[in-house]
Every structure is written in structure tokens, then in C-alpha cells.
Amino acid sequence: MKTSDIKGIIPPVITPMNNDDEQTVNHEALRQQVERLLAGGVHGMFPLGTNGEAYALSFKEKEEILATVIDQVKGRVPVYAGTGCITTAETIRMSKRAEEMGAD
């Protein structure tokens, strides 16, 4: 686990969805949102919280979203992944996966 001083502005990252039958994640819009937040001077990112619709996403979708955010941030600010799930076991699984993926 990485350690850092948590400080400053760390906004929840909204998960943009495509307007299709499956309501898939719009990764290009997500990348653009990350860049807008960084340009605004944030000190960290918080994807997959309640504003990110995490409760309605599959484990695979959460991994993909987190991968997109981490890739777009490129280490410029910490990424604090929302890992809360319905069950304790799933929360532990998501927390371990977020750490493996490089979330702070």
C-alpha cells in the first residue's frame, strides 16, 4: 500500500455513460473529465464512489474505469479508488484489485 498525505481538493469522479442499450461506460469522456479536473488544479481523484455509479457497475466495469483513470492521470495526482461494494468479501476483493492496479 502506498502512503501519502491526503490534502487539498479530491473530487469524486462521475462515470460518464454512453447512450446505448447496454449503458456502457464512455471511456473517452472519462479521460476528458480527468483532464478537466487536473486542469482545474485538483490534488487527487476519487473514482468509483457513489457519484461514479459504482453500486450499479460490474466488477469488470469497475476495473476498466479504474484502469482508465489511472492511465490518464499518469501519476500526476493520487487516485483514491472507491472500493465499497454490497458485501464485505466483494469490498475486500475490489480493494486488493485497486491496489494491484496502482491506486493510492
DSSP assignment, residue 51? G
What pTM was estimated for this model as a whole? 0.92
Residue 1 has pLDDT above 60, yes or no: no
- The residues, any chain, with a CB within 8 Å of residue 72's CB and separated by 6 or more, are 30, 31, 34, 35
Report yes or no on 44 lying in a domain. Answer: yes
Report yes or no on 21 lying in a domain. Answer: yes
Rounded Cα–Cα distance for residues 95 and 9 (Å):
22
| CB-based contact 102:63 (threshold 8 Å) | no
Q: Residue 100 has what pLDDT?
A: 98
What is the CB neighbour count within 10 angstroms for residue 37?
21
Report yes or no on 7 lying in a domain. Answer: no
pLDDT digits (tens, 9 = 90+) for 24-79: 999 999 999 999 999 999 999 999 987 767 888 999 999 999 999 999 999 999 99
Domains held by the chain: number: 1
Q: Residue 22 has what pLDDT?
A: 87
Domain assignment of residue 58, given as a range: 12-101
